[in-house]
Homo-oligomer: A and B are copies of this chain.
């Protein structure tokens, strides 16, 4: 096949020829016989799209080139788990399949979720604030064992968060579109029951895709349903939560802490309210990315999907265009 890799311009090459060849060696026969090209600028993209069967691209490098012409394109593999910036996918050539990179983030984001829950439970946001005023203020708290953690999203990120929380003995309820049980969760409820379980959720982890159905899922009203003293973690997308309401409820003390990795907008500008909201720890969209393994793992996921395509099997990372993830 004719495969093109479109890397972002501003950063160093992400999927380098070297990484590609290493991934081909790992993948074996499925990686043989293809014609590969690499590009970063507009001219390279336009030229490659005339003949490419498969496009491998950062979401950012693709979003700004929509719509485009690609008469032979069969598959687009995005090196992000979230493809919300590509929706609706009306730009996708007829018959072409859109794939996300779900799975690449689980180890790192599981560590982030464990860290964030332990920080919230130990009241580290309060300790940071006390340190900033030079005040000795012990927060003596119980362990995480037996605490009620609700995780919205039971995909790769959500399941990693659930495993992390259960390592420390927390009781974890997953919230998903359906309500099928999931082995990494103590219980699973469907999204329409979210309102019912918020009042007993001592910690809430947002780990679902941003879609038409989940945008502003955590409205002010829902945030207020969390019990006083609750903590919130967001490793999904900033748009999942009504950010101003979240800041209000932290400043008022109804919520005791938040560890957030995603925001609206990104990057957060200087002077934005989020930076100085009480008991809010903000990290710059870094929860899920392990730079030492990210692109090699991504290419392994790509070849797994390519094998499925060639064999006529369901593609593990196929984006459901109706639901947007």
Residues of A whose CB lies within 8 Å of any CB of B are: 107-108, 111-112, 114-115, 118-119, 121-122, 124, 127-128, 130-132, 134-145, 167-168, 266-272, 275-276, 281-286, 289-293
Question: What residue in chain B is nearest A283 (Cβ atoms)?
Answer: B127
Rounded to whole angstroms, the CA-CA distance of A142 and B291 in the bound complex is 6
Q: A275 and B122: CB pair below 8 A?
A: no
- B282 pairs with A127, CB closer than 8 A: yes
Q: Given the known A-B contacts A124-B115, A286-B122, are A142 and B293 also in contact in the complex, defined by CB atoms under 8 Å?
A: yes
User: Which residue from B108, B131, B139, B292 sits with its C-beta under 8 Å from A275?
Assistant: B131
**Once the chains are docked, how many angstroms separate the CA of A127 from the CA of B281?**
8
5 A-B pairs with least C-beta separation:
A136-B267, A115-B118, A138-B284, A138-B286, A134-B275
List the number of copies, as a whole number.
2
Whether A111 lies near B107 (C-beta < 8 A) is no
Give the complex CA separation of A238 and B37 in angstroms: 57
Q: Give CA–CA (A275, B276) in the complex, Å.
A: 19
Q: Are B128 and A285 in contact (CB under 8 A)?
A: no
Chain B residues near A293 (CB-CB < 8 A): 142
The CA-CA distance from A137 to B268 in the complex, in Å, is: 10
Taking a contact as CB atoms under 8 Å apart, the answer to whether A127 and B290 are in contact is: no
- With A112-B122, A115-B124, A118-B115 in contact, do A284 and B136 touch (Cβ < 8 Å)? yes
Q: How far is the CA of A275 from the CA of B121 in the complex (A)?
A: 22
Residue of B nearest to A125 (CB): B128
Which chain B residue shows the least CB distance to A130? B284
CA–CA, A282 and B70, complex, Å = 56
Q: Are A111 and B286 in contact (CB under 8 A)?
A: no
Q: Which of B112, B135, B168 contacts A111 (CB 8 A)?
A: B168
Q: Measured between C-beta atoms, what is the minimum distance from A60 to chain B in Å?
A: 14
